Amino acid sequence: MGGSALVLASGSPRRLELLQQIGIEPERLLPADLDETPERSEHPRQLAKRLARDKARAAFETLKARGETGRYVLGADTVVAVGRQVVPKAEIEDEAVDNLRLLSGRTHRVFTGVCLVTPRGRERIRLVETRLRFKRLSREDIELYVASDEWRGKAGGYAVQGRAGAFVVRMVGSYTNVVGLPLYETLSLLEGEGFKVAAAGVGTVAPADRVDA
């Protein structure tokens, strides 16, 4: 496979689009079905790092068991938090409403853990933090946003690249981190481990192939 085959241990369309934005076309998507519940007293930043590592390692071990070697594996996980409180992904409307009410008029942090496993099994992990402040959201703001359905499955219950971008009063740090994959840090990890970006933008990504973990 050479030195520039990349497997993305995520089924997130946003992470795939961000990689494509910088000219990287993963060979395939290999998301892991993990329990993302925080451990007792686990800080949000530690949660993001742990889940990123677990996702990358699960995909790497699956490839290894299949005899598919020579790939870089990239895993990532994004966690939204108010203080030490993790703001969960919203799957139903009531959860989205609760999240938006919590974030309304407040500063919160977005942590993304990024883990790269090299073809030789070496792990490198980075954690990126962005601080955001939302405006005070009216009932109408929340109702219209929930009706948009953009929140579904998103960390914190919002997508900053969509309508929720208008809620942001202030942002300190990486914008792409909030979308789901901090590009500067991700590219630095890849290049630091010998990944050839110029050779990775050929072809189309294979459909997602889920890992059971």
SS3 of 156-182: the string is HHCCCCCHHHHHEEEEECCHHHHHCCC
| Rounded Cα distance, 117 and 125, in Å | 9
77 in catalytic set: yes
Residue type, 139: R
DSSP 86-128: EEPPB-SHHHHHHHHHHHTT-EEEEEEEEEEE-TT--EEEEEE
Please, what sign has the CA dihedral across residues 153, 159, 163, 166? positive
Please pick, among 35, 54, 77, 149, the residue that the annotation labels catalytic: 77
State the angle between helix axes of 93-103 and 139-148 in degrees (0 to 180), rounded to the nearest 10: 140
3-class DSSP assignment, residue 55 = helix
Is 158 in contact with 167 (CB distance < 8 Å)? Answer: yes
Give CA–CA dist 151/20, Å, rounded: 23
Could you tell me if 124 and 62 are in contact, meaning their C-beta atoms sit under 8 angstroms apart?
no
* Residues designated catalytic: 77
